[in-house]
């Protein structure tokens, strides 16, 4: 092989090596976009609200814009989670003019009932000549919100203009962006998370009596349902009472042990009746430490219990021939038969018979 061929091969290998080195060097050099991208954003992008009634603010910001002369921005939120309270241009906002007369605020609106589920913030601002356009980054406006959700949840905060190619309308005072659709840009939407409340909360949710009419001295069973509406396992007392001449008397007190969150339990109280009258039944669950909603700890039964004199089968406050007729019509009945009438079972043995008739006769003429 001649020296000329060897030299040519060596030169070729050297050139290949240099090209490879230059290629690798080029791969290590960052690729920079010649045009910066304008971005509208919710700031902060995520916000956690701790409880219902909490008031907070979010900024709508702009970044990397050139020659901004005006904007029209719409922001949407979920009204099942949040109420929009107000919107304003904060001190030092991005379009702050050198002369306060050189700005026009065309719209600054909070519509908390835009539709059934969403509210809308609408802000439109423009500079006035001879004010120069603004370039760079900053805050356009600030929105105040209030948490309304009792149960917690999530509301997106969306920058969006229906039917428009860009999320909002950004206008320059120089071509080509002084005409629609204006300055190209993108948007970073945000979201607000409302935490579900962490609470202690117990309640009395139901009172059901075994009967609403009985004879004096008989037993009435009172079923009281208590519920743990809070977020902690709870132990508490439930007190059941009856009312007599405006004074409450305790039927019993029972302890509910380790009731899990969102669970309920039914407690059965046994009441031995003593007074002939109409009684109101009530129950209440103990108010827990740090419990804030105590409006449902106590409740009164929607029905009353009338305690009658023995033998007053038809509930007219007198033992007479009418009661005998009722018992006679049910004679021979047992609890599973069609003629069964528990009020006719004067002698409480589960059978309506001659003993019941005799007990009425022995009390004939008595009144309540």
Each of the 368 residues of the chain gets a pLDDT tens digit; together they read 443 433 444 444 443 444 343 334 333 333 223 344 999 999 999 999 988 889 999 999 999 999 999 999 999 999 999 999 999 999 999 999 999 999 999 999 999 999 999 999 999 999 999 999 999 999 999 999 999 997 889 999 999 999 999 999 999 999 989 889 999 999 999 999 998 877 899 999 999 999 999 999 999 999 999 999 988 899 999 999 999 989 999 999 999 999 998 899 999 999 999 999 999 999 999 999 989 899 999 999 999 999 999 999 999 999 999 989 999 999 999 999 898 999 999 988 999 999 989 888 898 989 88
Closest CA to 173 of 90, 107, 109, 95: 95
The DSSP letter of residue 133 is P
Domain containing 170 — which CATH number? 2.60.40.680
Tokens of residue 160, six digits: 């969006």
27, containing H or E segment: helix 3-28
Scored b (16 or more CB within 10 A) or e, 213-245 reads bbbbeeebebebbbbbbbeeebebebbbbbbee
Is the domain of 219 the same as that of 291?
A: yes
Note the pLDDT of residue 162: 95
Residue 15 inside a domain? The answer is no
The domain of 249 spans 198-308
Residue 223 inside a domain? The answer is yes
CA distances from 171 to 60, 84, 139 (A): 17, 26, 16
Is the domain of 43 the same as that of 188?
A: yes
Residue 189 near residue 157, CB atoms below 8 Å = yes
Note the pLDDT of residue 61: 98
Is the domain of 114 the same as that of 162?
A: yes
Q: How many residues are there in the chain? A: 368
Residue 157 near residue 190, CB atoms below 8 Å = yes
- Asked which of 290, 308, 326 is the last residue of a domain, the reply is 308
Is the domain of 173 the same as that of 51?
A: yes
Is the domain of 204 the same as that of 324?
A: no
Scored b (16 or more CB within 10 A) or e, 153-185 reads bebebbbbbeeeebbbbbbbbeeebeeeebbeb
Residue 32 inside a domain? The answer is no
Tens digits of per-residue pLDDT, 84-97? Answer: 999 999 999 999 99
Tokens of residue 189, six digits: 């939407």
Residue 102 inside a domain? The answer is yes
Residue 23 inside a domain? The answer is no
- Asked which of 151, 169, 194 is the last residue of a domain, the reply is 194
Residue 88 near residue 109, CB atoms below 8 Å = no
Note the pLDDT of residue 18: 42
């Amino acid at each position: 092989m001649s020296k000329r061929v060897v030299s040519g091969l060596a030169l070729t290998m050297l050139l290949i090596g240099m090209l490879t080195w230059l290629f690798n060097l080029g791969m290590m050099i960052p690729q920079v976009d010649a045009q910066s991208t304008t971005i509208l954003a919710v700031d902060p992008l995520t916000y956690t609200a701790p409880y219902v009634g909490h008031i907070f603010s979010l900024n709508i910001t702009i970044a990397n814009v050139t020659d901004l002369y005006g904007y029209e921005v719409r922001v949407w939120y979920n009204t099942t989670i949040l109420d929009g309270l107000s919107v304003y241009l904060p001190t030092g906002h991005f379009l702050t003019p050198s002369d306060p007369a050189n700005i026009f605020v065309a719209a600054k609106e909070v519509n908390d009932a835009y539709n059934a589920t969403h509210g809308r913030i609408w802000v439109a601002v423009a500079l006035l000549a001879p004010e120069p356009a603004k370039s760079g980054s900053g805050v356009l406006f600030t929105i105040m919100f209030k948490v309304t959700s009792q149960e917690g949840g999530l509301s997106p905060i969306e920058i969006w203009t229906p039917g428009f190619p860009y999320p909002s309308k950004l206008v320059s005072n120089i071509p080509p962006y002084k005409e629609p659709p204006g300055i190209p840009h993108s948007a970073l939407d945000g979201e607000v998370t409302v935490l579900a409340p962490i609470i202690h909360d117990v309640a009395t949710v139901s009172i059901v009596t075994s009967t609403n009419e009985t004879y004096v001295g008989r037993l009435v069973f009172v079923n009281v349902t208590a519920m743990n509406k809070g977020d902690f396992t709870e132990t508490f007392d439930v007190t059941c009472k009856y009312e007599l001449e405006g004074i409450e008397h305790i039927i019993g007190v029972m302890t509910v042990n380790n009731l899990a969150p969102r669970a309920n339990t039914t407690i059965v109280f046994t009441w031995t009746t003593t007074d002939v009258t109409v009684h109101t039944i009530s129950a209440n669950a103990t108010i827990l430490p740090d419990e804030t909603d105590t409006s449902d700890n106590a409740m009164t039964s929607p029905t009353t219990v009338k305690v009658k004199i023995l033998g007053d089968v038809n509930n007219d406050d007198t033992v007479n021939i009418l009661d005998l007729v009722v018992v006679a019509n049910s004679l021979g009945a047992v609890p599973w038969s069609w003629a069964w009438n528990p009020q006719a079972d004067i002698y409480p043995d589960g059978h309506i018979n001659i003993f019941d008739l005799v007990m009425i006769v022995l009390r004939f003429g008595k009144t309540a």
